[in-house]
Amino acid sequence: MVAHSSDDVRGTLYIVATPIGNLDDFSKRAEQTLREVDYIGAEDTRHSRRLLNHFAIDAKLFSLHDHNEKDKAEYVASLLMDGKNVALVSDAGTPLISDPGYHLVAHLRAQGLTVTPVPGACALVAALCASGLPTDQFFFAGFVPAKSKARCDLYESWKSQAGTVVFYESTHRVYDSIADVAKVYGDSARLVLAREVTKTFETFLSGTAEEILAKFDADANQLKGEFVVMLSYVPEADDESELEAKRVLSILLEDLPVKQAAAMAAKLTGEKKNHLYKLALGMQDA
């Protein structure tokens, strides 16, 4: 499975996805690749050792995490130059997706070295495909900020984002995070929370932010585990003109002071100047 080309002595970096809960999601190709490579870079070597032991894979592990990734990139490049094959795994799911590996892959590609994926589980894709929310377009936002103000500002910015917004949230922050969605969106967003996907207590909760909070209040177990949050915003008719007004204002505010931007936006959109003035002030504060 792991290729050894006779005319190219350089090795390959394999980006290997591991399960996000259910070990049966570990693909045959992933197993074989990890069995055959010379080295495996792992976010947490003790964690990955348990997975490898389960599949009786005896591998040389080295750590590659957020804090040493830039240094390790040179080391991995030298291994590949030496003709060694290397795999990268993270604690769960697909490496580089809210996990380390970006600097490594960018560095290797810049040197013309070969990087190839061994795809498999990824929490965002697993959650989205079973959510019932639109999948034709989506935006993945990774983890959202821990502080409420920064989080609300980010949520506000998604109002002009096309498609479903998907983000990761931790068990400690999920309640406050959804409370902020309620503040910013009221009833105009439909949410689906995918919890413990592929695990024993897999649950999909859906509704408005307030409805989800009520489900949390009724059953604290719903706050346990790992979460993917998906948000689909459907502006009401009124919201739509508000959205357009904001879009126009944001362009005008790049070059004009608030008062002039509001006056110009009123001419362009037909909205009231006073209302636009307040809106522009709010946008400037944000």
167 versus 277: smaller Cβ distance to ligand SAM: 167
43 versus 271: smaller Cβ distance to ligand SAM: 43
Using CA atoms, how far apart are residues 59 and 69, in angstroms rounded to an integer? 20
Q: How far is the CB of 283 from ligand SAM (least distance, A)?
A: 30
- Under the binding rule (CB under 6 A), the answer on residue 168 touching ligand SAM is yes
Q: What is the end-to-end Cα distance of the chain in Å, rounded?
A: 52
- Under the binding rule (CB under 6 A), the answer on residue 199 touching ligand SAM is yes
| Interface mask toward ligand SAM for 7-26; x: CB under 6 A | -------------xx-----
Q: How far is the CB of 14 from ligand SAM (least distance, A)?
A: 16
Using CA atoms, how far apart are residues 199 and 55, in angstroms rounded to an integer? 19
* CB within 8 Å of 150: residues ≥ 6 apart: none
118 versus 194: smaller Cβ distance to ligand SAM: 194
Q: How many CA atoms lie within 13 A of 170 on its CB side?
A: 7
- Under the binding rule (CB under 6 A), the answer on residue 65 touching ligand SAM is no
By Cβ distance, which residue is nearest to ligand SAM?
93
Q: In what order do the strands lie in the sheet with 203-207?
A: 138-143, 164-169, 227-233, 189-195, 203-207
Identify which of 143, 205, 204, 198 has the alpha carbon closest to the alpha carbon of residue 168: 143
Query: At residue 177, what is the residue type?
Result: S
Stretch near ligand SAM under the rule CB under 6 A, chosen from 4-12, 64-72, 108-116, 189-197: 189-197
- Under the binding rule (CB under 6 A), the answer on residue 90 touching ligand SAM is yes
Applying CB under 6 A, among 182, 228, 276, 279 the residue interacting with ligand SAM is 228
In three-state secondary structure terms, 203 is strand
Using CA atoms, how far apart are residues 164 and 4, in angstroms rounded to an integer? 42
49 versus 224: smaller Cβ distance to ligand SAM: 224
- Under the binding rule (CB under 6 A), the answer on residue 197 touching ligand SAM is yes
- Under the binding rule (CB under 6 A), the answer on residue 69 touching ligand SAM is no
- Under the binding rule (CB under 6 A), the answer on residue 135 touching ligand SAM is no
97 versus 243: smaller Cβ distance to ligand SAM: 97
Applying CB under 6 A, among 48, 85, 177, 198 the residue interacting with ligand SAM is 198
Stretch near ligand SAM under the rule CB under 6 A, chosen from 128-136, 190-198, 248-256, 278-286: 190-198
> 97 to 126, contacts with ligand SAM by CB under 6 A?
97-99, 122-124
Using CA atoms, how far apart are residues 199 and 219, in angstroms rounded to an integer? 19
Check: CB of residue 216 under 8 Å from CB of residue 178: yes
Rounded alpha-carbon distances, angstroms, from residue 138 to 12, 169, 197, 254: 31, 17, 19, 28
Using CA atoms, how far apart are residues 194 and 175, in angstroms rounded to an integer? 14
Interface residue list for ligand SAM (CB under 6 A): 20-21, 90, 92-94, 97-99, 122-124, 168-170, 194, 196-199, 226-228
